[in-house]
Structures are given as C-alpha cells and as structure tokens.
Structure 1
Amino acid sequence: MIRRALDALYLAAGYAAGFFLVSIFVLMMLLSVGREINFNVPSGDDFAGWSLVAMAFLGLAHTFKRGEMIRVGLLLERLHGPAKRAAELFSLTIATLFIGYFTVQAGKLAYDSWQYFDMSTGVVSVPLWIPQMGLVAGLAILLIAIVDELVIVLRRGKPTYEAEPPQTTEELIERIAQGGGV
C-alpha cells in the first residue's frame, strides 16, 4: 500500500516535471515566433524561468528512484558485502541531512515570501511563493525518496536505483541505446 503510494508520488512528480518542460517549450516558441509577428507574452521570460526551476526540482525524485541520476559511484562500485552496505547507508544518511536542510530552508523562503507578500517585479505581478513551491515540493519529494531508499537499505534490501548488471550483450546495447546507465 505505502509502496504503491510512494511510487505514484514519484511518478506524478516526474509527470509534473514533464508538464513544465512542455510549458517551457511552448513559452519559448511563443516568445520566439511572437517577436516576428509583433506578439508579446507578458512576463514570458519569468514564467519560463519559474517553469525551469519547477521542472528541474520536481524531476529529481523520479530520476533518483529510477537510477538515472548522475552519481559518483567510483568507491561504492568497488565495494562488496557489508562494506558496500555501510558506505551506502553513510551516503544516504548524508544525502538525507543535506536535502532535509535544503528543503527546510526553501520552505522558509517560500513561507517568508507568502508572509511578507513578496511579488515578482515583471509586467505580470505574481506572488513569489507560488513559483517557489515548485522548488519546495521537488526537494520535499526528493527527501521522501532518499529516506525511502535509506529504509530499504536499512532493511537489508538492495537500493532500487542500483540496476542489475546486463546479462547479455544485446541487453547492454539496449540500455545504452535508451540512454540508461550500465
């Protein structure tokens, strides 16, 4: 039950990131074509920038859980058994602390923007807490995903972001063709 809810949360965040990616594309096309036909999108650059932040941060948890996030595994890949598990637990604990801190600080920023009625300075005035929520939500979902992985490893499970090594040459080629890691 909880596993399905968490996986649905990560997938929804991934879809939301995709929505903001498409939004950036549409805004950039409107801005580019609009220059040629004398059509202006008020505060289009602001909306594209806010969409970029939302896209980047909302996509983090989904990317992390699928094992697509760039991570430096030079040490972890060479360890085996209890040493690897200890290093994995250490890494996930440090990640939890850092992302937890960043989530709290981003939350405070959004709360302060809401409390003091901070508004954007563009043509279209937008309360700043609204675009900041993409940052806060993305970090919070990433924190949940990291704690999820920490619990899995604590229970002696294999991290979900760690892919099984390819069994055949065809499987290796397929993974590379799809842009996935080896």
Structure 2
Amino acid sequence: MIRTALDTLYLVAGWLAGGFLILIFVLMMLLSAGRPLGLNIPAGDDIVSWCMAAMAFLGLAHTFRSGELIRVGLLIDRFPDRTRRVFEIGALLVGCGFVGFFAWNAVMMTWDSWRFLDMTQGVLAIPLWIPQLGFTSGLMILAIAFLDELVWMLAGGANRHEKPRPKSAEEVVEQAIQSGV
C-alpha cells in the first residue's frame, strides 16, 4: 500500500515536472512569436523562470528513483558487493542529511514568505510563496525518496536507485543509446 503511494508520488512529481516543461515551451514560443505580432505577455520571463525552478526540483525524485541521476562510481563500482552495499548506505545517509537540510530550509523560507506576506518583484506582484512551492515540494519529495531508499536498503533490499550494471558489450551500447549519450 505505502509502496504504491510512494511510487505514485514520484511519478506524479515527474509528470508535474513534464507539465512545467511544456508550459515553459509554450510561454517561450508565445514570447518569441508574439513580439513581431505585438503580443506581449506581462511578466512572461518571470513566469518562465518560476516554471523552470518548479520543473527542475519536481523532477529530481522521479529521476533519482528511475536510476537516471548522474553517478560517479569509479571507486564504488570496484568494491565487492558487501563493501559496495555499505558505501551505498553511507552515501544514502549523507544524501538524506544534505537533502533533508535543503528541504527543511526551503520549507522554512516558503513559510516565512507566507508569514511575512512577501511579494514577488517585477511586473506581476503575487505572493512569493506561490512560486516557491514548486522548489519546496520538489525538495520535500526528493527527501522522501532518499529516506525511502535508505530504509529499503537498511531492511536488506537491493539497490533500486541505480540501473543494473550491463553484463555484455551489447547492453553497454543499449544503455548508452537509451540515455542519449
């Protein structure tokens, strides 16, 4: 039950990130094509930048759980499985600390913006906590994903945040093609 809820949370965050990406595209096209036609979108650049922050941070948890985050495994890939597992758990502990720290401070920043009635600067004055929600939500979901993976690995589960290592040259080529390298 909880596994389904968490996987759905990560998927919804990924879909929201994709939605913000499409919104960025549409706004950029309207801004670019609208200039010669005399169409002006007030604060279009501000809206695009808020969407960009929301897209980037909301996509982190889905990217992490899909095994698509860039990993540098030059050292850890050479360890035997048991030692590698210890290092993976250590890395997840450090990651939980950093992501938890950033998520907590993002929540506090957004809370303070709401509490002090901070407004955005520029043409479109809206409460600052609204554009900060994408950033804060993305970090909170990423913190949940890191904690989820840490608890899973401490309980004896296999690493789920990394794609399986290729076993043949064909698999290496296939993974390179899929990743767009």
Asked whether the two chains share a fold, i.e. TM above 0.5, the reply is yes
CA distance 1:27–1:172, shift in 2 (3 Å): same
Q: How far 1:113 moved relative to its partner?
A: 0.6
Contact persistence 1:11–1:62 (CA under 8 A): yes
Contact persistence 2:68–2:162 (CA under 8 A): no
Question: Which one-letter code corresponds to 2:147 in the other structure?
Answer: V
Q: How far 1:167 moved relative to its partner?
A: 4.1
Q: Distance in 1 between matches of 2:124 and 2:162?
A: 44
CA distance 1:76–1:167, shift in 2 (3 Å): closer
Contact persistence 1:43–1:124 (CA under 8 A): yes
Q: How far 1:168 moved relative to its partner?
A: 4.6
Structure 1 runs of 4+ aligned residues shifted over 3 Å read: 167-172
2:153 is the alignment partner of 1:144: no
2:21 is the alignment partner of 1:21: yes
TM-score by length of 2: 0.95
Once structures 1 and 2 are overlaid, which stretch shifts more, 66-75 or 44-53?
A: 66-75
Q: Distance in 1 between matches of 2:45 and 2:147?
A: 35
Q: How many residues align?
A: 181
CA distance 1:24–1:5, shift in 2 (3 Å): same
For 1:83, the equivalent position in structure 2 comes to: 83
CA RMSD of aligned residues (A): 1.4
Q: How far 1:124 moved relative to its partner?
A: 1.6
Question: Which one-letter code corresponds to 1:159 in the other structure?
Answer: N
Q: Distance in 2 between matches of 1:176 and 1:70?
A: 13
In structure 2, the gaps of 5 or more residues are none
- CA deviations on 1:79-130 (whole Å, 9 max, x unpaired) are 1232111111110001001111101101111011101111112222111100
CA distance 1:38–1:53, shift in 2 (3 Å): same
Q: Distance in 2 between matches of 1:132 and 1:55?
A: 12
Instruction: Report % sequence identity.
Output: 51
TM-score by length of 1: 0.94
In structure 1, the gaps of 5 or more residues are none
For 2:96, the equivalent position in structure 1 comes to: 96
Q: How far 1:174 moved relative to its partner?
A: 2.6
Question: Which one-letter code corresponds to 1:131 in the other structure?
Answer: P
Q: How far 1:161 moved relative to its partner?
A: 1.6
- CA deviations on 1:11-36 (whole Å, 9 max, x unpaired) are 00000000000011011111101111
Contact persistence 1:68–1:180 (CA under 8 A): no
Q: Distance in 2 between matches of 1:138 and 1:79?
A: 32
Contact persistence 1:24–1:51 (CA under 8 A): yes
Q: How far 1:58 moved relative to its partner?
A: 0.2
Q: Report matched runs for 1:1-182 at 5 Å.
A: 1-179=1-179
